[in-house]
Structure 1
């Protein structure tokens, strides 16, 4: 594999992903609505892939998706409101606060098993944010930390047996299924007020 390739390019290569068109995302608008800048690598990833599932496991959230369930902005707002309103929910993320709290956790993906993947927004430079991951079925085990880009994290989850949350032992080939290109509207699901 080309060592000069970006992690997003490496993901595209191993999944065979060829988007019909690269998404155009108004990043200044997205970041203004969030009130925070986002990692450069994530922006490239979101433009190349959009929201969807890697290997039927890791569900990537991106801004302004056609459906609300994998929309980075809507989910950040919802989780922030829930954590602020209900101390029990906020306690699930200890010792960290939930975004939009300063330095809080901002979720960018989850898994079909309800594992959650966040950036710890504790630096003015989003490219330095670590990734913190939490298993849904073992919150007491605490947080797994990864110091690398979002695309590298996903790549390693798919291919590296040593990586926490790795699914490498289950797959010989890798896929990406777009929620945007393959999604048919579902009025009942899309109208759900919890999303």
Structure 2
């Protein structure tokens, strides 16, 4: 039926659609020096030209090539441990751009699946936290697909360390409903949003962006105890194209940083430790669970077995 996101294929023509880490390990374990010497992982769609390849070396190890022209990335390394290669490949792929992919067969987005693996959760597609289309209509704003998938899987709470992702929450003693998203958005506009709007009114140099609900304005989605905040810059009609903007309080008045990627890919970047600027966000890179949100209990009357209160 075809892959939703990417495909792994070896020299013998054997392939796996949207492979898990275990499936990649199996393909790598089947390599030999005769007729099956490499495995390639690449996007299923033609729009992307990124790929990762693993080939046997004469010394008995593996050469790993990771190439993504969209970000001028081209790395070549050698490794002997199949388990490490498979894990690193899956997490690298999770950070590629899958904008516009829908997951036809209930396949969890690779970027959100990567976050799940780091957090120690099974990367399995979850049922919706709430009826998103109706909730977004009531709230008057559409949100990115990776955020919706993240909330469906993780539910309310922090990801790791200090950073907390803002999520819809139920009223006390009631299951979560359509109005939860509207309450969340209004709270962000009247809380964090109002503070940055006042900052902009005091001096545009302190806040160089408009603030939601102004067109193209900042809409917050995460923060920490230090007063750092992550926003979407709501430019254009497609929320999946919104860049992430970070304000680091400790860098005042030059604490603004823009990242042209979605929320989930941004979190993977922060978790990778490859951008020292993001160290202050308090997103930990350890694989040991640290305040990882629990899966949702079943809500009374919920239609999904994974509904959260």
TM range (shorter): 0.7 to 0.9
Question: 1:56 maps to which residue?
Answer: 161
Displacement after TM superposition at 1:112 (Å): 2.6
CA RMSD in angstroms comes to 3.4
TM-score normalized by structure 1? 0.75
Seen in structure 2, the aligned counterparts of structure 1 residues 26 and 160 have a Cα distance that, compared at 3 Å, is same
Rg bigger for which structure? 2
Cross-structure match for 1:177: 292
Give 1 or 2: higher helix fraction.
1
**Offset at residue 55 of structure 1 (A):** 2.0
Whether 2:258 is the aligned partner of 1:127: answer no
How many residue pairs match? The answer is 179
Instruction: Give the 4+ runs in structure 1 shifted more than 4 A.
Output: 18-23, 65-68, 88-93, 167-171, 179-182
CA distance in 2, matches of 1:41, 1:91: 34
Match of 1:79 in 2: 191
For structure 2, list consecutive stretches of 5 or more residues without a partner in the other structure.
1-86, 95-108, 173-179, 298-309
Query: SS state of the match for residue 47, structure 1?
Result: helix
Which residue of structure 1 aligns with residue 110 of structure 2?
6
- Structure 1 position 160, deviation (Å): 2.4
The structure whose residues are more often strand, as a share, is 2
Alignment of 1:65-104 (within 5 A): 65=170, 72-79=184-191, 82-83=194-195, 87-88=198-199, 90-91=201-202, 94-104=207-217
Could you tell me which residue of structure 1 aligns to residue 220 of structure 2? 107
Rounded Cα–Cα distance in structure 1 between residues aligned with 2:119 and 2:140: 33
Q: What residue ranges of structure 1 are gaps of 5+ in the alignment?
A: 183-195
Instruction: Give the secondary-structure state (helix, strand or coil) at the position aligned to 1:178.
Output: coil
